[in-house]
Chain A
Amino acid sequence: MARQEAKKDVVIVGLGWTGAIMGIELAQEGLEIVALERGHDQNTVPNFQYPNMIDELKYGVRLKMMQKPSQQTVTVRRNEGETALPYRSLGSFLPGNGVGGAGTHWNGLNWRPQAEEMRLRSYIAENWGEQIIPEDMTIGDYPVTYDELEPFFARFERVAGISGTAGNIKGELREGGNPFEGWRSEDYPMPAMPSTWDGVKFAEAAKAAGYHPFPSPGGIASRAYVNEYGMQMGPCNHCGFCERYGCFQYSKSSPQTAILDRLKQYPNFSYRTESEVLRVEMAADGKTATGVTYFDEKAGEEVFQPADIVILATYQLNNVHLMLLSGIGQPYDARTGEGVTGKNYGYQMNGGVTMFFKDEHFNPFIGTGANGFCIDDFGMNNIDYGAEGFIGGAYWRSGQTNGQPIRSMPLPSGTPTWGAGWKRAVGEWYGHAMSIGAHGSCMSYATNHLDLDPTYTDRHGRPLMRMTFNWNANDIRQTQFMKSKMEPLAQSMNPDLMQSSFKKEGAQYDVRPYQTTHNTGGHIMSATPDTGAVNRYSQAWDKHNVFALGAGNFVQNTQYNPTGLVGGLAYWTAHAIRTQYLSNPRPLV
């Protein structure tokens, strides 16, 4: 018999970006709220403090900020014919752990999607006809438009503290910004950060080639900043320890810098750490949730937390897992295409070029996760899908994120991986390399999905979630297209050596090397209950008091890093709950 806690108005599962946003927005309504966080509590000091955090071996390699597979993981296979095996050693993607979640260890790159990405199927139909969409490509329109979300993107950018240069304010194009971005109601809250030499060099070459470089937008403070909650950031010193690390000097935007200390001031908000939610409990009629059952790590027992509203604010993979375990939404069946939960799992198709210059010195001791310059000339809304034979796009960026010696020492291919030859190459090339990355789209497919694994269980006896994912020919054509455009640009910079890394036809998904922690979909938003798990307000179609936040809502992934859309959707959802749901709890669509 599980212990039972006193009933709350709201239980929030996970205290990362979306949990913190929902917490503070609903706390302002005076609701009694408890957030349950699987991991430990963490604050800038002592958890991220200098110099302890600046430890590449501990955090960069041994991944001490991340979820432990022994506590929670997925099984992975590439297609229906394979037997999925547990993801026992983190590689391809790195879900975070603890208060602040992935919002503590991200690079800080913060983008809005393009308006066209939000209505992709219609955009294609209008321009080329729906017949160019391959049969197994399950892309759609988001049931909410860019224009509707714009104020919420702006709000998240103000809260998180994003530095950048606007390219389009209310339709008016601005010199120095991204001319292809969606319109903004206002400029970024902070000016763009300065770039290192590699980014500047790339921007010069891009401009010469007729492209439109602009500074990378990032949740990294270019000056001292105070947001609407009175929360603060300090100007970044470009130490280069962003991704995989917590920021030791309040410079990277995170729930800790943007929200949490304000949230903790509300007497009607509390949070419990080391409280791993096992399932959402349902009322007898199955139409609403009654709360959640979690495992209290300290007490070593299960606890039932009753609540009127359940907010699923965990990482995308864990949100989908909880929904599958709790019967929220009909599980997606890849064979029939029926069902919704687990559908449209998406990822990211990235590639890039590395160049070596004998006579250039790029100081690798300077960097940020959102450093450098970008171009969007090959973005989703700039590609002629009909002519090029693929649906997709990518933004390009150049700017070193760090010069950490274990993982950030690019060497010419063919260099020995150890011994005298390796040492010689390091001496010759460290600080002389720069790269350009293409951060590309990955469409949704009937074959890429999430469900419960038939074999493997976690320490609580729950089935692990199974990921079925493989690269698709459409996205490989996209990345090969980027290669064909990027190599000439790189060549124009006259490197002494250069090498490319783009996936080739027939490439199979390899879960071992790190690629990106942009896992999306699985509880996608939809206009009708038969096509997605949640409606336009992130509300479960079949359990109106359950709301699921995060990148799981993405109908298909965008070409960009997901945080801007995740944050915008969280504020959009909070607004809907505050203005529409609380006064009359019901299905909002």
Chain B
Amino acid sequence: MNTILRVIGGAAVLGAAGLAAFVFVPVQRTVAVTDLPADWKAPEGAGEYVMYAGDCMACHTAEGGEPFAGGRAIHSPMGTIWSTNITPDPETGIGGYTLDEFRAAMIDGIRADGAHLYPAMPYENYRLMTEEDIRALYQYFMEDVAPVNNAVEATALSFPFNMRFGIRAWNWLALAHEAGPSAATGDAAFDRGAYLVQGAGHCAACHSPRTTFMAQDGLTESDENYLTGGEVAGWHAPALRGEGSAPHVWAVEEMAAYLSTGRNAHSAANGEMGLVVRDSLQHLTDEDNLAIATYLKAMDGEPGTPTVAEAATTTETMLTEATDLDLGARLYMDNCSACHFVDGKGAAEIFPELANNSIVTAPQIGGLANVILHGAELPSTEHRPMKLKMQGYADRLSDDEVAALMTFLRQAWGNDAPPVAASEIGAFRAPAH
């Protein structure tokens, strides 16, 4: 009895000590992957470029707020996370951060005070950045960004997610990769593309699925589920590898055009991707966007030529003859065909193709429903300044009609996605913020 009690007591003490250690012993910071001289200086403009590549603006700037002063609400399944002020303001920003503290935030997800960041901050991906880029970014935020005194709302998730130390266990799963970029293959464009996609660009944060523990399921192409499609803010983030994916079907130049302008011969960047183009990708050099496209095209070896579905012409004939159209097809003719045409191909860079369009055929219907109801706007970019807008049809189409139209689109021109029910539409009637 005593023995049993002693064992239990011992285990309890050990457990408590372990728990205390788990909670209170500071986490080791990963050291720099490259030992740069202390007086190393990033070339002029390099830090700002890394900022664009990392799309820091997207999360750390509130709607209408000062750049990088934080305060943007990021909705997560655990609750609302408020992005932090990353201007060099010593009081409310990161003015007091040393380089080591900054690096730890970037690649370990650890704040200067030792607390864990929520993984809304994509340190899983930033972990794959070079020390040069991290130093350049640190230099940029410390020297080129104006300090803004802006105390943002503290993130207050409900229990148990408010216990930040829990992230420590999560990190054991999520930070399985060594810090620093993936090994080079020797193909300069491919390697540069891989680096941007895996690291600063943090594409996998949206385009990889999530594991049961909400970690990114795949950080590099050696991971099976990497870039096989995910979800962000109710929108489907399409697969970027495999049969029928955009990188598989589109030419490298077409993908690069999409990245830098939000539009190409096939599609248009709507929703979250439009913001990525606006705040990040349009600021990259053409060479870098081509590198990203090169990597996406070739990460699984050169893909074969995609096959064209014969059903495309069936739909075109049916719409052209326009006899006995069902409701969805009739609505398409009345509302959509003027721009997207009966062949569903639209027009290069201005009217997106609807055949084999991932927004149209996505498992999550939110993207398509949003575009039909509330329209869409492309960002004004350097190469394509026009803020192309499609108007919404919320005031013109009932839920029954939207569902019929969506069902038509999801099954026309060789598209093969399940129908949509009218009861699913109501949830999207309120404009997305």
- CB within 8 Å of B: which residues of A? 43-46, 49-51, 223-224, 226, 229-235, 237, 239, 248-250, 257, 261-262, 264-265
A250 B391 Cβ-Cβ under 8 A: no
Contact of A234 among B335, B350, B375, B377 (CB under 8 A): B350
B338 A237 Cβ-Cβ under 8 A: yes
Contact residues of A: prevailing secondary structure: loop
| Min CB gap A22→B, angstroms | 18
Complex A-B, nearest 9 residue pairs according to Cβ-Cβ distance, in ascending order = A45-B389, A224-B347, A49-B391, A234-B350, A262-B385, A224-B348, A261-B385, A237-B338, A261-B386
| Min CB gap B254→A, angstroms | 14
Contact of B350 among A43, A45, A250, A261 (CB under 8 A): A250
Contact of A51 among B341, B390, B396 (CB under 8 A): B396
Q: Within the assembled complex, what's the spacing in Å between the Cα atoms of A262 and B385?
A: 5
Interface contacts (Cβ under 8 Å), in number, total 68
B391 A45 Cβ-Cβ under 8 A: yes
A233 B380 Cβ-Cβ under 8 A: no
A235 B347 Cβ-Cβ under 8 A: yes
Q: Within the assembled complex, what's the spacing in Å between the Cα atoms of A132 and B391?
A: 58
List A contacts of B390 (CB < 8 A). 45
> What total of chain B residues lie within 8 Å of the partner, measured CB to CB?
25
Using CB atoms, name the residue of chain A closest to B265: A224
B387 contacts chain A at the CB level, 8 A cutoff: yes
List B contacts of A257 (CB < 8 A). 386
| Min CB gap A114→B, angstroms | 34
B338 A232 Cβ-Cβ under 8 A: no
Q: Within the assembled complex, what's the spacing in Å between the Cα atoms of A32 and B380?
A: 21
B385 A265 Cβ-Cβ under 8 A: yes
Contact A45:B347 (CB < 8 A) given known A229-B385, A237-B338, A249-B338: no
| Min CB gap B14→A, angstroms | 64
B330 contacts chain A at the CB level, 8 A cutoff: no
A234 B339 Cβ-Cβ under 8 A: yes
Using CB atoms, name the residue of chain B closest to A52: B391
| Min CB gap B286→A, angstroms | 13
A230 B383 Cβ-Cβ under 8 A: yes
List A contacts of B383 (CB < 8 A). 230
B388 contacts chain A at the CB level, 8 A cutoff: yes
Interface centre among A230, A248, A249, A257 (most CB of B within 10 A): A230
List B contacts of A229 (CB < 8 A). 385
B391 A224 Cβ-Cβ under 8 A: no
B389 A44 Cβ-Cβ under 8 A: yes
14 further A-B contacts with Cβ under 8 Å, apart from A232-B384, A234-B339, are A44-B389, A45-B389, A46-B389, A49-B391, A223-B347, A224-B347, A224-B350, A226-B349, A226-B384, A230-B386, A233-B350, A237-B339, A257-B386, A264-B380
A231 B385 Cβ-Cβ under 8 A: yes
Give B324-338 as 1s and 0s: 1 = Cβ < 8 Å from A's Cβ atoms. Answer: 000000000001011
Q: Within the assembled complex, what's the spacing in Å between the Cα atoms of A125 and B64?
A: 66
Contact of B375 among A45, A51, A224, A265 (CB under 8 A): A45
List A contacts of B388 (CB < 8 A). 232, 250
B391 A232 Cβ-Cβ under 8 A: no
Contact A249:B349 (CB < 8 A) given known A46-B391, A230-B384, A230-B386: no
List B contacts of A235 (CB < 8 A). 347
| Min CB gap A380→B, angstroms | 37
| Min CB gap A242→B, angstroms | 14
User: Could you show 30 A-B contacts with beta carbons less than 8 Å apart?
Assistant: A43-B389, A45-B389, A46-B391, A50-B335, A50-B338, A50-B391, A51-B335, A51-B396, A223-B347, A224-B348, A224-B349, A226-B349, A226-B384, A229-B385, A230-B261, A230-B382, A231-B386, A232-B384, A233-B350, A237-B337, A237-B338, A237-B341, A248-B338, A249-B338, A249-B351, A261-B380, A261-B385, A261-B386, A261-B387, A264-B380
Q: Within the assembled complex, what's the spacing in Å between the Cα atoms of A49 and B337?
A: 15
A232 B386 Cβ-Cβ under 8 A: yes
Contact A232:B375 (CB < 8 A) given known A46-B391, A264-B380: no
List A contacts of B375 (CB < 8 A). 45
Q: Within the assembled complex, what's the spacing in Å between the Cα atoms of A442 and B293?
A: 58
Contact of B349 among A49, A232, A237, A261 (CB under 8 A): A232
B351 A234 Cβ-Cβ under 8 A: yes
Give B210-242 as 1s and 0s: 1 = Cβ < 8 Å from A's Cβ atoms. Answer: 000000000000000000000000000000000
